Amino acid sequence: MLKKKSVKKKTVSQKDDKKVNSLSLGQKAADAVTTWAGSWTFILALLAAMFIWMWVNVAALAFKWDPYPFILLNFVLSTLAALQAPIILMSQNRQEERDRTKADRDYATNRKSERENQKILGKLDYIEQKLNEMSKKKK
């Protein structure tokens, strides 16, 4: 007769889940900025703002706060890029951490499935052996 063995359940620690799911204010802000800065809405709004900035400065007769070659606009865009780059990198690092945790969970699930499949195959081998023994006895 087949004996049941107790199966120990192994899961990825809940500590990793809490680490990934509990976000600081800075992490939430980085994700929000990355979501906004990576959207077509942001890109189109930035292009529109640049076009308006340049058009107003070229068309203005009296007060040109940033005449051609638009040094102030260049400074604003450089500052924007300098601030966005590390924020986007922070968000990418968090995404990498989430992906790593997910991969660890997938690996643990695959290992568990493999162990269960090995047990089932062992039981099938046992059943096949017993059936062979029974068929030999009948002959």
Residue 58 · residue 68 · CB < 8 Å: yes
The residue ranking higher by pLDDT, 120 or 137, is 120
Residue 11 · residue 108 · CB < 8 Å: yes
pLDDT, tens digit, 9 for 90 and up, residues 43-94: 999 999 999 999 988 888 778 888 888 999 999 999 999 999 999 999 999 8
Can you give the pLDDT at residue 1? 47
Query: What global pTM score does this model have?
Result: 0.59
Domain ranges within the chain, ordered by starting residue: 25-107
Write the burial class of residue 66 (CB in 10 Å: 0-12 exposed, 13-18 middle, 19+ buried): middle
